[in-house]
Amino acid sequence: MKPTVDHVLAIADDALITAQRLGEWYAAAPEMEEDVALANIALDQLGAARLLLTYAGELEGAGRDEDALAFLRDDREFRNCLLVELPDADFAVTIVKLLFLSAWQLPLYAALAEGDDERLAAIGAKARKESAYHLDHSSQWTIRLGDGTEESHRRVQAAVDELWPYAHELFAADPAAPVDPAGLRDAWLSTVEGVLAEATLRRPADGWGPAGGRTGVHTEHLSYLLAEMQVLHRAHPGATW
Amino acid sequence: MYGNDFPGPDQGPTAGLLGEVEAAEAALRDAARRDLQAGRGAAPDPAGADEATLHDYFTSVIAADQKIEPRDWMPDSYRKTLIRQIAQHAHSEIIGMQPEGNWISRAPSLKRKAILLAKVQDEAGHGLYLYAAAETLGISRDELVEMLIEGRQKYSSIFNYPTLSWADVGAIGWLVDGAAIVNQVPLCRCSYGPYARAMIRVCKEESFHQRQGFEILHVLAHGTPAQKAMAQDSVDRWWYPSLAMFGPPDTDSAHTAQSMAWKIKRFSNDELRQRFVDMCVQQADVLGLTLPDPDLRWNDDRQAHDYTQPDYAELMRVIKGEGPCNRDRIAHRRRAHADGAWVRDAAAAYAAKQAERQEERKVAA
């Protein structure tokens, strides 16, 4: 059974919006090494997004390529989870977002790599290696910040507390999907709880779980992000670049 | 590779220059081999020998086109000149991320966004590589970054101009990186080993960037009328600032003579500028864009193009800090440095704790 367009768009948009947010860090990271690392991760996410968007366009069969899907959809048509569109108030927020996302993407891509759909299997096989690196990078930084200074501990705990509710959306059941996200929660929890413990951070209680991203009902942040991302492409309809 | 289809790797706009990089790399390997065979046994002991003997040896290494290495004795002024030049070069890579990074979020296609991200990442890598080369001369990266932020060291004047359209990303690749390569290819043969080796790697990647910039402009110049106008406007704004990147005319260049004697520099500012102009004229023709100089024409006697010099008074103003973006660029760098302080502190504190824990484990065992 072929995956649905919406499902492929969901994981494509997660990667695309993550790349867009990480791209905002250019020349502004705390260390030059981190400038390199964040650009590197942004590139990986963008690379996965391009493959997935292309596939979504083919499944849809309406002639939309990666650029039509990235630049000519409005926020109500985007399927990314809310977590990835939140603004990066500081480095701790960026790192915790990436930790939560990559701890989800890694088992997802790994399962897709073993799945029946050939295209998703090929994309998953490529992306899982990159996700493993993203997870390692964000885990190491979470631990450094959590077990660093008082100030860094305070900031990264605040980021964990603020972002934890948004992680629930990642596990909304989708029985029609090649890999039902609901089944990824145990693996995710065990990874993230391990990292938080080593980082001397408190795992927040489960409770409020904002959602809506998968059906195109986003936070107020996404529309600004898209306005910036799409402005040039939309200003020159039909042009090639 | 990012699926570029113009032009092929062997006919790229910098193909000739890349050939020189290859030759420099081969020469570097030969010099290293010669070094080993000859044992360079005659090197005087820096602790025992008098300065004249050390200086003679230093001069003979340079005369033989061999490389000065970090362990070698070198005159203080040679060391200082290199620190200044390599640091300025490293700072330029780091500040140079800003004008192009300005368009990452708005790149008009996903392919272009990927190429631009990769390029800005390369620049951060070049900066790191060059700071490491400077550190072999006995100064720390932290000191150098401090000097940049306090305005005590310079970076390339070109990055004080704003990127106002997407085409500027193309023009920076084509003209700015093109000028940088023409400037840097001779540095692949410079007398200081770590700098020469860094330049070989940097030049290869820069030449790739230059080709990408050329391709951006080529697509725009052959696109819609609005795209073509955007490309032309961009070349109009970046042409003279790019020419000014080669520095003041030879008659006013303070460091040239000494740097040439030390084989840090191999050609004068004006020689390199001429070479750049000659290269660009042909390429502008392929692009179908006009260089904004009515007096630009081939001179049969000189076998080179005559051209209008850039406004050197403007160059001096920009170098002094009065260009359009000087304040923004430094403010951005300062802000990134200040905002990141708590992260660097955390990393240092964590590393210290880890070292302490390891020590405790050793004691316990």
Q: What would the pLDDT profile of A178-188 be if each residue is shown by its tens digit? A: 999 999 999 99
* B126 at interface of A, judged by CB pairs closer than 8 A: no
DSSP string, B153-221: S---GGGGS---SHHHHHHIIIIIHHHHHHHHGGGGG-SBHHHHHHHHHHHHHHHHHHHHHHHHHHHHH
A88 interface with B at CB cutoff 8 Å: no
Nearby residues of A107 by Cβ (< 8 Å), 6 or more positions away: A184, A187, A188
Closest approach of B29 to chain A, Cα-based (Å)? 29
Are residues A26 and B118, on separate chains, in Cβ contact within 8 Å?
Answer: no
Q: Residues 228..287 of B with a Cβ closer than 8 Å to A: which? A: none
Backbone CA torsion sign across A86, A90, A96, A98? positive
Q: How many domains does chain A have?
A: 1
> In chain B, where are the structural domains located?
17-39+75-323, 324-364
Which of A6 and B253 is assigned the larger pLDDT?
Answer: A6
Query: Is there a contact between B238 and B284 (Cβ–Cβ < 8 Å)?
Result: no
Position A2 confidence tier, pLDDT thresholds 50, 70, 90:
confident
Does the CB of B297 have a partner CB in chain A at under 8 Å? no
CA dihedral A99, A101, A102, A107 (to 10 degrees): 130
CA angle B115, B121, B123 (to 5 degrees): 105
The sign of the dihedral angle between the CA atoms of B228, B231, B237, B239 is negative
The alpha carbon torsion through B142, B203, B157, B108 (nearest 10 deg) reads -100
Run of H or E including A2: none
| Sign of the dihedral defined by the CA atoms of residues B49, B52, B56, B62, in that order | positive
For B:318-357, CB contacts with A below 8 A are: 332-333, 335-336, 339-347, 349-350, 353
- Pick from B6, B112, B113 the residue to mutate for testing the A interface (most A CBs within 10 Å): B113
CA-nearest of A133, A128, A135 to A114 is: A128
Whether A47 has its CB under 8 Å from any CB of chain B: the answer is yes
Condensed to tens digits (0 to 9), the pLDDT of residues B76-100 reads 999 999 999 999 999 999 999 999 9
- pLDDT recorded at residue A154: 98
Task: Report if residue A241 sits inside a domain.
Answer: no
CB of B227 within 8 Å of a chain A CB? The answer is yes
Question: Could you report the predicted ipTM of this complex, rounded to two decimals?
Answer: 0.98
Strands B297-299 and B304-306: antiparallel
At residue B119, the pLDDT reads 96
Indicate which CATH number applies to the domain containing A172: 1.20.1260.10
Contacts of A128 (CB under 8 A, 6+ apart): A106, A109, A110, A113
Q: Which residue from B minimizes the CA distance to A47?
A: B114
Q: What is residue B32's predicted lDDT score, i.e. its pLDDT? A: 76
pLDDT at A69: 98
pLDDT, block means (10 residues), chain B with 365 residues: 40 75 86 64 75 92 93 96 96 97 98 97 96 98 96 96 98 97 95 96 94 97 98 98 96 84 93 97 96 98 97 96 97 97 98 95 88
Task: For residue A180, give its domain range.
Answer: 5-202+210-235
pLDDT confidence bin for A201, thresholds 50/70/90: very high
Place of tokens 């009328």: B225
**Does residue B41 or residue A80 have the better pLDDT?**
A80
Partners of residue B305 on adjacent β-strands? B298
In a domain, A240, yes or no: no
Mean of the per-residue pLDDT values of chain A: 97
Write down the pTM of the prediction: 0.94
CATH of domain B17-39+75-323: 1.20.1260.10
Average pLDDT over residues A15-42: 97
Q: Say if A111 falls within a structural domain.
A: yes
